[in-house]
């Protein structure tokens, strides 16, 4: 089976503009990818005014250009969707992500703890078990096709000293 070459620059949508989402957005944008960041309120305003202000370790603070959007409808069709929301927010947001997922984008959830998809892989122990505490009512499962999910979990030491204006990572963490 022939494999498709990975494009040099991906179109990436990051959903969640907190410490983890900002960290992923900054690193991916600095690697040359086209990054859109879904945000709201004061965070959205700060991103549109200042860009994503970011520092890593003892390096200097820099402002990284990202496209800040208030709605998935304002974002270009992505190759990759990074879900960097707190797990309790995802059931409410997942149905609104349809415009980002319609083209078959790969979905990379980067939350901590057990994700909604953990027991959904067929043929594995406990396959078919649903984590209702993580996905009450199955909203995430119905909104995001499991075949598009690239399983992930993250353990990174990031924080936002001001509302998504910058994200910091201690020296040596990356």
**Residue at 119 is within a domain:** no
In a domain, 131, yes or no: no
Q: Is 82 exposed, middle or buried (0-12, 13-18, 19+ CB in 10 A)?
A: buried
Beta pairing, strands 62-64 & 52-56: antiparallel
Note whether residue 133 is domain-resident. Answer: no
Residue 5 belongs to some domain of the structure: no
Q: Does 134 fall in a domain?
A: no
- Predicted pLDDT at 19: 87
Contact 77, 105 (CB under 8 A): yes
The pTM (predicted TM-score) of the whole model is 0.87
Number of domains in the chain: 1
- Report the pLDDT value the prediction gives residue 98, as an integer from 0 to 100: 96
Instruction: Supply the range of the domain harboring residue 53.
Output: 11-113+146-169
Q: What was the pLDDT predicted at 16?
A: 92
In a domain, 174, yes or no: no
Q: What is the pLDDT of residue 172?
A: 57
Q: Is residue 33 part of a domain?
A: yes
What's the CATH number where 105 sits?
3.40.50.720
Contacts of 82 (CB under 8 A, 6+ apart): 12, 13, 14, 15, 21, 24, 25, 28, 108, 110
Tell me the pLDDT of the chain (174 aa) as tens digits: 445 666 789 999 999 998 889 999 999 999 999 999 999 999 999 899 988 999 887 778 889 989 999 999 999 999 999 999 888 889 999 999 999 999 999 999 997 677 888 888 888 888 888 888 888 889 999 999 999 999 877 877 787 877 655 666 665 554
In-domain check, residue 3: no
């Amino acid at each position: 089976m022939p494999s498709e070459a990975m494009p040099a620059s991906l179109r990436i949508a990051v959903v969640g503009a907190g410490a983890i989402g900002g960290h992923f957005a900054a690193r991916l944008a600095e690697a040359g990818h086209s990054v859109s960041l879904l945000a709201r309120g004061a965070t959205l305003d700060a991103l549109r005014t200042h860009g994503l202000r970011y520092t890593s370790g003892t390096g200097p603070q820099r402002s990284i250009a990202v496209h800040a959007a208030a709605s998935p409808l304002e974002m270009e069709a992505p190759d990759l969707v990074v879900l960097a929301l707190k797990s309790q927010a995802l059931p409410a947001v997942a149905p609104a992500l349809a415009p980002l997922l319609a083209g078959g984008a790969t979905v990379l959830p980067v939350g901590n703890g057990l994700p909604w998809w953990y027991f959904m892989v067929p043929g594995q122990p406990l396959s078919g078990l649903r984590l209702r505490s993580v996905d009450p009512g199955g909203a995430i499962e119905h909104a995001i096709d499991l075949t598009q999910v690239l399983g992930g979990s993250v353990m990174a030491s990031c924080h936002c000293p001001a509302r998504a204006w910058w994200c910091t990572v201690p020296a040596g963490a990356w």
